[in-house]
Amino acid sequence: MLEDWKSLENQSHPIKLSIKGNHPEIFKADPNFLKQILINLLTNAIRYSPEGGTINLELIYQPTEVIFKIRDRGIGIPESELDQVFDAFYRGSNADSISGTPGAGLGLTVVKRLVKLHQGTITLESILNQGTIVTLSLPVSEVKS
């Protein structure tokens, strides 16, 4: 599946992957849903980052969860709007400041719903004109004996 996000990588926005921890024995996540989540998040990071901006994707394996952190150095989201970014059809007030960034405001809404289906969590931290960090946490299934 990691090959899929590599197809998003281009010369103007390299994606740097780092992996920490040991892969769990059982990690039950629908591969198609997980792919959709990561593609949406990485596409946003690329879309709202300046040319040449590196996107960091960190994969952290922990005993009870798998954490994905996506960090960009893009335009960020105004602090007053952070509570609204997962609302359907919502687009940040500065989203159109970068030309060629169309969107219906549904990407993060879909992501949040897919994360909830996996009983996970998603959080977003952002500083205007400095970038955004999206943290996705999905539980690891326990091994049944």
Q: Which two tokens mark 19?
A: 């992996």
Domains and CATH numbers, the chain: 21-139 (3.30.565.10)
Q: Consecutive sets of 10 residues in the chain, 145 residues long: mean pLDDT of each? A: 54 86 81 90 87 91 93 89 74 56 68 91 92 94 53
Q: With beta carbons less than 8 A apart as the criterion, state whether 124 and 133 touch.
A: yes
pLDDT at site 90: 62
End-to-end, the C-alpha distance of the chain in Å comes to: 28
- Amino acid type, 67: I
Structure tokens at 68: 């994905």
C-alpha span between 70 and 68 (Å, rounded): 7
Of the candidates 87, 94, 75, 69, the one whose C-alpha atom is nearest the C-alpha of residue 16 is 69
Give pLDDT, residue 145. Answer: 42
pLDDT of residue 73: 92
- CA nearest neighbour of 115 among 81, 65, 73: 65
Q: How far apart are CA 12 and CA 20, in angstroms?
A: 26
Could you identify the residue written with the tokens 């949406």?
40
Residue 65, helix vs strand vs coil: strand
Tell me the whole-structure pTM to 2 decimals: 0.81
pLDDT at 143: 46
